[in-house]
């Protein structure tokens, strides 16, 4: 069958973009004008307001499809951040945007969208943050865009998208003790590399994925951004529906890929026997087995358990389980930042905050915080950080020559205890 | 957008991420004239003080990877960059650069034909970029019509403004 005739089977991304574009069938490379189901802004949205007014749009196209979630500097840590927040509050008031997650009800924007059911299967969602890809775990196309593009979305309710070819990652096997979804996505990054999925969609499937919780799926889809992907996604199933059952904000339109869907590339990965992984400075694809680094005694100055990638309640629970009965190594700063205020409250209820702080850690308010070098954990020149976040580019967390090692939450806690990179399996 | 864009070249390596273009500490700055003082502070520290209007940035693979921050192309726009050319781009940076109105061209193989300071000549519709010092050139697929239109309009703000004035409607659900 000739795909250009539009008859072949379709991938998950193709089906969702066909629906968004109100056409029966799409092929990679085709441009669609996609109707947006959900638009999310964080602080960068402050730069949307000017262009929106310049465009001369009378009103936001649909206030019920717009979410504002401030997360980078919460509460405002500088005058500049305070101004960004105020611009957003004023814009929300002016436009009647009531879905505003402000200080006290805040969290990292992607986690807010997930917890509150703002993105559901079949959606086309866009956000002013590159890790918007995380929401693809709902069985949606979720992509990051810039603030001027967001202004056009708020004005018109749509944007042009080139239908991406799809990279299919089929995962089988069982993650061993001390090995997590984060280790899997790091391993994939090591293979696909930071440019291996540029402009592409990534579709995860297979028995390993089917057994994963939504939190684990979020971690996988979140870091498809680091491979350059437009979106990373997982077909919706009973786990997705159970997660969204009580919180979905609008009707679901679940779709699955066709059996005869055409994938640009298929990679099969067996996770049986896989150990913990680490991404070394200065690229998320500079990945090695953690066991290779442990004998080198890589000393750390700071450990960060946080970010949209890995700061959900299960990440905190696993970290606390490992930390219990230990102390943070002398001279190490251990910072824990939950992904949302509701996770903060749950951690409080479960006694996790006590475990972290008794051991010598700092448990902060929910924020992107140290992940992007914004506040609460900036690195000095030459310092080394073990982090559960998603990027380790030069200057990402502060000084340009500071070194960041990306790890699972469990492995970051192991590093906090030892004061150097360590295998979390030794503590389980 | 001019049909032929000429300018002096600044070169960059592969994988220049948005942190190296505009560091996270400047993300609360929204005045482009302030931002431009810090552009490429990590990747190319001498750039901000020495770049001239019309200069052309030639990068390697995966230019602008990382975050969605539009500060990066906005700062380049404020400094007056005439075009950004690279072996390949990260997708959000590419979109953002076009949206703010900078001619942005993906031309595989372009990085290796330029050295810092070389004069470049880009034929936007013709799909060719040439090093006027050495005569070396590479071809590229010209931008699709809707992106050329967007650049002709001066960026996305102007394009949407025109669409709204022409009676554009929002899609029904």
Query: Which CATH number fits the domain that encloses residue A320?
Result: 3.30.499.10
Contacts of B50 (CB under 8 A, 6+ apart): none
Domain endpoint, select from A268, A302, A329: A268
Distance CA B22, CA A207 (A): 41
A3, part of any domain: no
A33, part of any domain: yes
Whether the pLDDT of residue B19 is over 50: the answer is: yes
Whether residue A295 contacts residue A418, with contact meaning beta carbons closer than 8 Å, is answered with no
Domain endpoint, select from A246, A268, A290: A268
Mean pLDDT of chain B: 94
Q: Which residue of B has its CA nearest to A226?
A: B66
Tokens representing A175 are: 């993650």
Distance CA A37, CA A167 (A): 24
Q: How far is CA B62 from CA A52, A74, A283, A411, B86, in A?
A: 29, 31, 12, 29, 8
Distance CA B69, CA B22 (A): 9
Nearest to B28 among A84, A152, A391 (CB): A84
For B:56-95, CB contacts with A below 8 A are: 61-62, 65-71, 73-74, 88-92, 95
Specify the CATH number of the domain B4-165.
3.20.19.10
Please tell me the total number of residues recorded for chain B in this structure.
173
For tokens 């193989």, the residue is B109
Strands B119-123 and A31-35: unpaired
Rounded to an integer, the average pLDDT of B107-125 is 97
Same domain, yes or no, for A250 and A318? no
For every one of its 428 residues, what pLDDT tens digit does chain A have, with 9 covering 90 and above?
344 445 689 999 999 999 999 999 999 999 899 999 999 999 999 999 999 999 999 899 999 999 999 999 999 999 999 999 999 999 999 999 999 999 999 999 999 999 999 999 999 999 999 999 999 999 999 999 999 999 999 999 999 999 999 999 999 999 999 999 999 999 999 999 999 999 999 999 999 999 999 999 999 999 999 999 999 999 999 999 999 999 999 999 999 999 999 999 999 999 999 999 999 999 999 999 999 999 999 999 999 999 999 999 999 999 999 999 999 999 999 999 999 999 999 999 999 999 999 999 999 999 999 999 999 999 999 999 999 999 999 999 999 999 999 999 999 999 999 999 999 999 99
Same domain, yes or no, for A117 and A29? yes
Strand partners, A362: A335
Q: What is the ipTM of this complex?
A: 0.92
Distance CA B83, CA B76 (A): 9
Tell me which residue range forms the domain holding A74.
10-268
Same domain, yes or no, for A250 and A323? no
Q: Which residue of A has its CA nearest to B165?
A: A56
A390, part of any domain: yes
Distance CA B108, CA A374 (A): 35
Distance CA B164, CA B8 (A): 37
Chain A touched by B25 (CB under 8 Å): yes
Q: What are phi and psi of A333, to 5 degrees?
A: -95, 120
A97, part of any domain: yes
Same domain, yes or no, for A250 and A288? no
A260, part of any domain: yes
Strands A265-270 and A166-172: parallel
For residue B61, what pLDDT band results from cuts at 50, 70 and 90? Answer: very high
Alpha carbon of B150: minimum distance to chain A alpha carbons (Å)? 12
Distance CA B21, CA B40 (A): 4
Phi/psi-derived region of residue A70, left when phi > 0, alpha when psi is between -120 and 50, beta in every other case? beta
Whether residue B35 contacts residue B60, with contact meaning beta carbons closer than 8 Å, is answered with no
A128, part of any domain: yes
Same domain, yes or no, for A399 and A264? no
Domain endpoint, select from A268, A302, A324: A268
Nearest to B157 among A51, A129, A145 (CB): A51
Contacts of A203 (CB under 8 A, 6+ apart): A11, A12, A13, A166, A167, A168, A169, A232, A233, A234, A235, A257, A263
| Start-end of H helices in B51-144 | 71-79, 91-99
Whether residue A182 contacts residue A318, with contact meaning beta carbons closer than 8 Å, is answered with no
Substitution target in A37, A148, A156 with the highest count of B β-carbons within 10 Å is: A148
Q: How far is CA B141 from CA A73, A74, B9, B108, B138, in A?
A: 41, 44, 21, 10, 10
Same domain, yes or no, for A264 and A285? no
Long-range interactions of A378-385: CB distance < 8 A, separation 24+ = A379/A301, A379/A302, A379/A404, A380/A301, A383/A301, A383/A302, A384/A298, A384/A299, A384/A300, A384/A301, A384/A302, A385/A300, A385/A301, A385/A302, A385/A303, A385/A304
Predicted pLDDT of residue B168: 86
Contact criterion met (CB < 8 Å) for A395 and B99: no
For tokens 């140290």, the residue is A370
**Count of alpha carbons within 13 Å of A350, Cβ hemisphere only?**
16
DSSP per residue, A28-63: TT-EEEEEPSEEEE-GGGHHHHHHHHHHT-SS-S-G
Whether residue A223 contacts residue A185, with contact meaning beta carbons closer than 8 Å, is answered with yes
Nearest to B19 among A55, A129, A395 (CB): A395
Strand partners, B130: B121, B137
Rounded to an integer, the average pLDDT of B56-69 is 94
Chain B residues near residue A144 by CB distance under 8 angstroms: 68, 92
Q: What are phi and psi of B21, to 5 degrees?
A: -85, -55
For residue B16, what pLDDT band results from cuts at 50, 70 and 90? Answer: very high
Alpha carbon of A223: minimum distance to chain B alpha carbons (Å)? 11
For tokens 């025109």, the residue is B162
Distance CA A363, CA A409 (A): 14
Distance CA B86, CA B64 (A): 10
Tokens representing A29 are: 């490379």
Q: Which residue of B has its CA nearest to A156?
A: B170
Number of helical H runs and strand E runs in chain A: 14, 18
Same domain, yes or no, for A172 and A63? yes
Strand partners, A127: A40, A144
Report DSSP state, residue A372: G
Task: Tell me the longest C-alpha to C-alpha distance in chain B.
Answer: 56
Predicted pLDDT of residue A271: 98
Whether residue A285 contacts residue A226, with contact meaning beta carbons closer than 8 Å, is answered with yes
Predicted pLDDT of residue A4: 47
Look at residue A371 and give its three-state secondary structure: helix
Contact criterion met (CB < 8 Å) for B28 and A44: no
Tokens representing B130 are: 């040439």
For B:118-157, CB contacts with A below 8 A are: 144, 146, 155-157
Whether residue A226 contacts residue A194, with contact meaning beta carbons closer than 8 Å, is answered with yes
Whether residue B11 contacts residue B114, with contact meaning beta carbons closer than 8 Å, is answered with yes
For tokens 């500079």, the residue is A286
Tokens representing B98 are: 């076009």
Predicted pLDDT of residue A6: 52
For tokens 């995860």, the residue is A204
Domain boundaries, chain B: 4-165
Q: Tally the domains of chain A.
A: 2
Contact criterion met (CB < 8 Å) for A372 and B88: no
Taking the model in full, what pTM does it have? 0.95
A146, part of any domain: yes
Same domain, yes or no, for A363 and A386? yes
Taking one residue from A and the other from B, the number of pairs with CB-CB distance under 8 angstroms is: 140
């Amino acid at each position: 069958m000739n795909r250009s005739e539009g008859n072949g089977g379709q991938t998950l991304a193709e089906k969702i973009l066909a629906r968004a574009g109100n056409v029966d069938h799409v092929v990679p490379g085709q441009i669609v004008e996609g109707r947006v189901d959900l638009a999310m802004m964080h602080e960068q949205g402050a730069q949307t307001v000017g262009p929106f007014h310049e465009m001369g749009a009378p009103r936001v196209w649909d206030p019920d499809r717009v979410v504002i979630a401030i997360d980078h500097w919460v509460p405002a840590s500088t005058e500049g951040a305070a101004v960004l927040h105020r611009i957003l509050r004023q814009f929300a008031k002016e436009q009647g945007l009531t879905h505003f997650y402000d200080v006290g009800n805040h969290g990292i924007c992607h986690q807010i969208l997930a917890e509150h059911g703002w993105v559901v299967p079949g959606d086309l969602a866009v956000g002013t943050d590159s890790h918007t890809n995380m929401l693809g775990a709902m069985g949606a196309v979720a992509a990051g865009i810039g603030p001027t593009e967001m202004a056009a979305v708020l004005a018109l309710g749509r944007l042009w998208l080139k239908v991406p070819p799809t990279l299919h990652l089929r995962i089988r096997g069982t993650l061993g003790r001390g090995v997590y979804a984060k280790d899997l996505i790091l391993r994939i990054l090591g293979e696909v590399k930071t440019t291996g999925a540029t402009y592409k969609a990534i579709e995860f499937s297979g028995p390993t994925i089917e057994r994963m919780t939504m939190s684990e799926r979020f971690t996988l889809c979140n870091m498809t951004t680091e491979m350059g992907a437009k979106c990373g996604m997982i077909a919706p199933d009973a786990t997705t529906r159970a997660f969204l059952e009580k919180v979905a904000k609008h009707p679901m339109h679940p779709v699955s890929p066709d059996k005869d869907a055409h994938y640009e590339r298929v990679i099969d990965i067996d996770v049986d026997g896989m150990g913990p992984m680490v991404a070394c400075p200065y690229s998320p694809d500079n990945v090695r087995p953690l066991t290779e680094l442990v004998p080198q005694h890589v000393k750390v100055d700071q450990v960060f358990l946080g970010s949209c990638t890995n700061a959900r309640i299960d990440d905190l629970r696993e970290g606390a389980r490992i930390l219990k009965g230990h102390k943070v190594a002398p001279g190490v700063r251990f910072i824990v930042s939950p992904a949302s205020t509701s996770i903060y409250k749950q951690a409080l209820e479960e006694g996790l905050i006590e475990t972290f702080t008794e051991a010598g850690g700092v448990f902060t308010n929910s924020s992107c915080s140290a992940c992007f070098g914004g506040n609460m954990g900036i690195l000095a020149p030459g310092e080394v950080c073990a982090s559960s976040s998603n990027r380790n580019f030069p200057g990402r967390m502060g000084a340009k020559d500071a070194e960041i090692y990306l790890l699972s939450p469990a492995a970051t806690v192991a590093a906090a205890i030892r004061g150097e990179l360590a295998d979390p399996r030794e503590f389980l | 957008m001019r049909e032929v864009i000429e300018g002096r070249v600044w070169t960059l390596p592969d994988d220049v991420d948005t942190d190296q273009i505009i560091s996270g500490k400047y993300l609360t700055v929204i005045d482009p004239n302030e931002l431009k003082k810090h552009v490429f502070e990590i990747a190319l520290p001498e750039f901000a003080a020495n770049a001239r209007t019309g200069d052309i940035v030639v990068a390697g693979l995966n230019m602008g990877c990382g975050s969605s921050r539009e500060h990066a192309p906005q700062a380049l726009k404020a400094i007056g960059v005439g075009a950004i050319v690279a072996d390949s781009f990260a997708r959000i940076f590419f979109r953002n650069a076009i949206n703010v109105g900078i001619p942005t061209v993906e031309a595989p193989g372009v990085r290796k034909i330029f050295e810092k300071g070389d004069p470049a000549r880009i034929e936007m519709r013709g799909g060719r970029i040439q090093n006027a010092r050495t005569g070396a050139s590479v071809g590229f697929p010209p931008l699709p019509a809707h992106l050329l239109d967007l650049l002709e309009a001066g960026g996305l703000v102007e394009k949407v403004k025109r669409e709204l004035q022409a009676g554009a409607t929002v899609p029904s659900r």
